[in-house]
Amino acid sequence: MTNLQSLLQSIDSFIWGPPLLVLLVGTGIYFTFRLGLLQFRHLPTALKMVFSRDKSGNKQGDVSSFAALCTALSATIGTGNIVGVATAIKLGGPGALFWMWLAAVFGMATKYAECLLAVKYRKVDENGQMLGGPMYYLQYGVGSKALAVLFAVFALGVACFGIGTFPQVNAILDASHISFGVSREVSAVVLTLLVAFVTIGGIQSIAKVAGKVVPTMAVFYVIACMSVIISNADQLVNAIDLVITSAFSSTAATGGFVGASIMLAIQSGIARGVFSNESGLGSAPMAAAAAKTDSCVKQGLISMTGTFFDTIIICTMTGLALILTGAWQTDLAGAAMTTHAFAVGLNAATLGPMLVSIGLMFFAFTTILGWNYYGERCVVFLMGTKAVLPYKIIFIALVASGAFLHLDMIWIIADIVNGLMAVPNLIGLIALRHVVAEETKNYFQTQLNYSQARA
């Protein structure tokens, strides 16, 4: 068993090593320049679209564009924003945060491209619901059924045995036990019932919950982080300077921090950044495809803001809190490091841990909901709508069993499958790069002509 675990760890390190990270970031760099720095020039427009009143009318789709974005964010804003940032800074030093930013900036272009394609190639199932995502643009755009099936199988694996279940379940049960003294068994029953109640209702039910919980929790968490940052405002310039200088120089060992090379800062920052916002992995397009919209470009722009909110705002807040409070130099790691940062930064031994625990619980819960929907879309692609109910029953059973499973091998397999998702998706993005460029050019030309005609 140890030999098998060692082999899986080697495969995991290879998959999440430089080749995949270079491919992920490289795809983002390509789209950034091919689309004329779209994520910089049109971010204000995209944010305006997110926060303006949605006039869905009779547009095709299951939920509003904002609800589709919240469903995608529900799956990405999770333990990665709290635990993942701490892990990256623990491994690579403060410079890892800079490389996380870089991955996010280029990742916005990738997210735009994949969500544009999801809407362009989406279909309608026999129940009248939208079907879309990498499976559909790989089959109908690229013309490869094999790549489409591969992606669906990998994504289903992530939903059932990876990000979608066990890590999130354990994060919720640990947080509720440590902060509120609730037994794991009681928490497991309550969590299972809540997941069953929301997911049985399908995308409308998931989107409704995500549309309320995600913005509320994101604002709540950002305010908590801002409180830590404001109380240490005199050190903010030094902290940002440390992030930038550490990104291009080795970080010396201090306190409980063992030191890090530039390469380690780059790898841990980019890997955790991609892991957090999932740009290029192909998950968000499945939610984007459900949006009520008459323009694939418009939905691409709205979806692109997900990476901005997830990494540029929330991960940055966590990272600055860790650096300003000196938590990154302690012997602590993961959630314990973030908890310590809040306890020190807010000067509140009980309030700090409670804030982190509440944030973890809600973020992890919405991640379960988002990935339940992604898994459902993959099941429909592979086996048809008749398989949806059996899938939901299995998914709910896996959530319930997550409380009692502590198998290291499951985590490693989940990580491997998560990385493998990106491969067919990136092949599809590169193969359909001209479609993305053409759709973008036509949309903005039409907008320009409309503006000139009105003037």
Mean pLDDT over 184-189 rounds to: 91
CA distance 352 to 228: 10
Does 2-454 carry CATH code 1.20.1740? Answer: yes
Q: What is the pLDDT of residue 356?
A: 82
Q: Residue 337: in which H helix or E strand, if any?
A: helix 334-345
384 Cβ contact partners less than 8 Å away, ≥ 6 residues apart: none
CA distance 122 to 301: 17
CA distance 43 to 23: 24
> pLDDT digit string (tens) for 237-248?
999 999 999 999
> By percentage, how much of the chain surpasses pLDDT 70?
95
Lowest mean pLDDT among 364-368, 412-416, 421-425, 445-449: 412-416
Mean pLDDT over 342-352 rounds to: 79
Mean pLDDT over 374-390 rounds to: 94
Mean pLDDT over 160-176 rounds to: 84
Q: In the chain, what are the domain boundaries?
A: 2-454
Q: What is the pLDDT of residue 168?
A: 85
> Left, alpha or beta for 54 (phi > 0: left; psi -120 to 50: alpha)?
beta
Q: What is the pLDDT of residue 58?
A: 64
Q: What is the pLDDT of residue 298?
A: 95
pLDDT class of 255 with cuts at 50, 70, 90: low
The closest of 414, 75, 69 to 277, measured between CA atoms, is: 75
Query: Six-digit token pair at 266?
Result: 């780059």
Task: Report whether pLDDT(258) > 80.
Answer: no
**Burial track 206-219 (b if 16+ CB lie within 10 A, e otherwise):** bbbbbbebbeebbe
Mean pLDDT over 133-153 rounds to: 97
Task: Report whether pLDDT(252) > 80.
Answer: no
| pLDDT averaged over every residue in the chain | 88
Mean pLDDT over 397-415 rounds to: 76
Q: What is the pLDDT of residue 434?
A: 97
> pLDDT digit string (tens) for 281-323?
999 999 999 999 989 999 999 999 999 999 999 999 999 999 9
> pLDDT digit string (tens) for 13-61?
888 888 888 899 999 999 999 999 999 999 999 999 998 876 655 677 8
Mean pLDDT over 260-269 rounds to: 81
Q: What is the pLDDT of residue 345?
A: 87
Q: Cα 410 to chain center, whole Å?
A: 20
The closest of 39, 33, 41, 27 to 270, measured between CA atoms, is: 27
pTM: 0.92
Task: Report whether pLDDT(350) > 90.
Answer: no
Task: Report whether pLDDT(139) > 80.
Answer: yes
Task: Report whether pLDDT(79) > 80.
Answer: no
> By percentage, how much of the chain surpasses pLDDT 90?
50
Q: Give, to the nearest 10 degrees, the angle between helix 408-431 and helix 2-15.
A: 30
Task: Report whether pLDDT(259) > 70.
Answer: no
pLDDT class of 359 with cuts at 50, 70, 90: confident
Q: What is the pLDDT of residue 55?
A: 62
CA angle 124/130/133 to nearest 5° reads 110
DSSP state of 387: G
Q: What is the pLDDT of residue 8?
A: 84
What is the DSSP track for 285-325? HHHHTTB--S-HHHHHHHHHHHHIIIIIIIIHHHHHHHHHT
Which amino acid is located at 276 in the chain? Answer: S
Q: Cα 338 to chain center, whole Å?
A: 19
Report the relative pairing of strands 123-124 and 130-131 from DSSP bridges: antiparallel
